[in-house]
């Protein structure tokens, strides 16, 4: 792919790596490519990161035809930069786009675009411990039209920002509220895709949880409100009587790259992994009878987030005395060890950019 480069006159000042937070500081450049019905993908370019212009009748602003991805570039101790399983993000975006009737962005072009942008933004990949460069590829309809239909023009873009921990709690346990009224996804809907609309619909639950002193929502299945599915921005796993439980990928749950990597590690370590429906009643029961040993969320942005408390209606369960579990810590150390190049990558998950 030929990528045109438009140089920025003045580079931005880099933020303090000790206070990055999440998603606050955008880098100097962004990748952009356009699609039209007649010409397909065209004009790959890396240009200064700046506001874009959209016609107010642009389809996306009205009907949310938008999908996105999230991955990270990591700085190793030797100063190299590596990506973690970028093909998985590329493939998932194709899956999301199919559901939303958007054109596929080919896997090789996706990886090439990400690699090219990260190379240009090399100096933005932070070196402080626990930091990385978060990469956000996204696609949206650009056609100006108010009819609801598959659009005739789209944009694929990639932006980046150096980040620290996603949650203020970092790797400390979070409190989670089980949402028993609102739902996130039903079979046949868009729950398995990474589309903006899924997140828009989740914000009310998040606001409700925060008002009650909880930092995240645990969503139940949309039909019976009986089975645990996923947390606001993460997949979720439970260690019950020595075995791992997590919701299956059956149309309502996002196929997380971190989820898949954790399940690989867990199976490799000999754990029995149950990708099966777990009812909220069984989960709370396990919390009370002492068999619920650990609970943790997994996601690219959050990495792994231990859960210290679960509230379902008036029932409250404290997990592992509100301390990070041994297995949760081991998973965090192993996964981030591979990502930051401190541990040998036996799975071929990482790829060097520079």
Site residues (vs ligand COI, CB under 6 A): 70, 199, 233, 299-301
- The DSSP letter of residue 123 is G
Rounded to a whole number of angstroms, the minimum distance from the CB of residue 298 to ligand COI is: 9
Distance of closest approach, residue 256 Cβ to ligand COI, in angstroms: 8
Q: For the beta carbon of residue 276, count every other beta carbon within 10 angstroms.
A: 10
Q: Which is nearer to ligand COI, 114 or 153 (CB)?
A: 114
User: At residue 337, what are phi and psi to the nearest 5 degrees?
Assistant: -60, -40
Question: Closest separation between CB of residue 244 and ligand COI, Å?
Answer: 20
Task: Rank residues 134 and 312 by Cβ distance to ligand COI and give the closer one.
Answer: 134
CB of 203 to ligand COI, least distance (A): 11
Of 254 and 317, CB closest to ligand COI: 254
Nearest approach, Cβ of 149 to ligand COI (angstroms)?
Answer: 27
In the complex, residue closest to ligand COI by CB? 70
> Which residue's CB is nearer to ligand COI, number 103 or number 299?
299
Please give the structure tokens belonging to residue 106: 């080919």
Q: Which is nearer to ligand COI, 137 or 287 (CB)?
A: 137
Q: Looking at beta carbons only, is 55 or 210 nearer to ligand COI?
A: 210
Find the helix packing angle between 86-99 and 107-120, rounded to 10°.
130
Place of tokens 């980046």: 160
CB contact burial 212-247 (16+ within 10 A = b; e otherwise) = eebbbbbbbbbeeeebbbbbbbbbbbbbbeeebbbb
Q: How far is the CB of 7 from ligand COI (least distance, A)?
A: 29
Q: Which helix (H) or strand (E) holds 137?
A: strand 132-141
Question: Residue 4: exposed, middle, or buried by beta-carbon count in 10 A (0-12, 13-18, 19+)?
Answer: exposed
39 contact partners, CB below 8 Å, separation of at least 6: none
């Amino acid at each position: 792919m030929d990528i045109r480069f438009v140089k920025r006159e003045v580079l931005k000042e880099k933020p303090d790596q000790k206070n990055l937070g999440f998603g606050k500081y955008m880098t100097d450049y962004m990748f952009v490519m356009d699609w039209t019905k007649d010409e397909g993908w065209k004009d790959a370019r890396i240009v200064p990161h700046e506001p874009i212009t959209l016609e107010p009748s642009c389809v996306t602003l009205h009907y949310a035809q938008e999908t996105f991805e999230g991955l990270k570039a990591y700085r190793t101790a030797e100063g190299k930069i590596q990506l973690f399983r970028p093909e998985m993000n590329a493939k998932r975006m194709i899956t999301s786009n199919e559901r939303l009737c958007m054109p596929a962005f080919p896997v090789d072009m996706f990886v090439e675009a990400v690699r090219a942008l990260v190379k240009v933004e090399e100096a933005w990949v932070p070196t402080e411990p626990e930091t990385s460069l978060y990469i956000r590829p996204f696609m949206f309809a650009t056609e100006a039209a108010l009819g609801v239909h598959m659009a005739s023009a789209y944009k694929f873009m990639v932006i980046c920002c150096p980040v620290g921990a996603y949650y203020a709690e970092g790797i400390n346990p979070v409190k989670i509220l089980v949402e028993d009224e609102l739902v996130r996804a039903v079979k046949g809907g868009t729950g398995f895709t990474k589309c903006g609309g899924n997140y828009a619909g989740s914000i009310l639950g998040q606001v409700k949880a925060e008002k009650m002193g909880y930092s995240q929502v645990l969503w139940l299945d949309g039909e019976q409100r009986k089975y645990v599915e996923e947390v606001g921005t993460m997949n979720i796993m439970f260690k019950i009587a020595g075995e791992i439980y997590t919701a299956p990928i059956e149309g309502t749950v996002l196929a997380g790259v971190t989820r898949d990597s954790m399940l690989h590690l867990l199976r490799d370590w000999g754990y029995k992994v149950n990708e099966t429906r777990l009812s909220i009643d069984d989960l709370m029961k396990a919390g009370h009878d002492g068999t619920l040993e650990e609970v943790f969320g997994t996601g690219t942005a959050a990495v792994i987030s231990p859960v210290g408390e679960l509230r379902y209606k008036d029932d409250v369960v404290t997990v592992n005395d509100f301390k990070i579990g041994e297995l949760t810590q081991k998973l965090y150390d192993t996964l981030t060890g591979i990502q930051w190049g401190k541990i040998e990558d036996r799975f071929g998950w990482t790829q060097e950019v520079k």
